[in-house]
Amino acid sequence: MPATDFDAERTYDEHRFSTRSVFRSDRTKVVLGYFEPGQFIPVHAPDSDVTICVRAGTGVVREGGTDHAVGPDDVVVVEAGVERGVRADEDGRLEALLVTSPPPTDAEHDPVREGLERGVFEP
């Protein structure tokens, strides 16, 4: 079983959110997400459940048509097929644990890549 912590894995990128993979199998993917102020994972709707647990900072987690304001120790779960996205508030960094099951396919992440290239949170 892999063991690590947010401090050991922490890495930020001034251009886009960064992730550090903690674990991956055919059934589950676990990553630590690090967001500079205003950075985001664009809204998309893969066929996987996701659990997002905020460790530090504040931001918004989109779940379908609802934006949840989140902060440390908040947990948001979004079912497969429901639109989701994560955005750090403009005034600080955000760190979160993201667990997806099953892991999204590369094709399901196309909207994420496109949103990042265009610099837009909304699809």
pLDDT reported for residue 94:
98
Helix runs in the chain, H state only = 6-9, 110-118
What is the residue-averaged pLDDT of the chain? 95
**What secondary structure letter does DSSP report for 116?**
H
Q: What is the pTM of this model?
A: 0.93
Fold of 17-114: Jelly Rolls (2.60.120)
Pick out the chain residues at pLDDT < 50: none
pLDDT reported for residue 91:
97
**What secondary structure letter does DSSP report for 22?**
E
CA dihedral 16, 17, 20, 22 (to 10 degrees): -140
pLDDT reported for residue 66:
96
pLDDT reported for residue 123:
77
Task: Give the start-to-end residue ranges of the domains of the chain.
Answer: 17-114
What are the strands, taking DSSP E only, across 8-113? Answer: 18-24, 29-35, 40-44, 49-56, 59-63, 66-70, 75-78, 84-88, 94-101
pLDDT reported for residue 1:
53
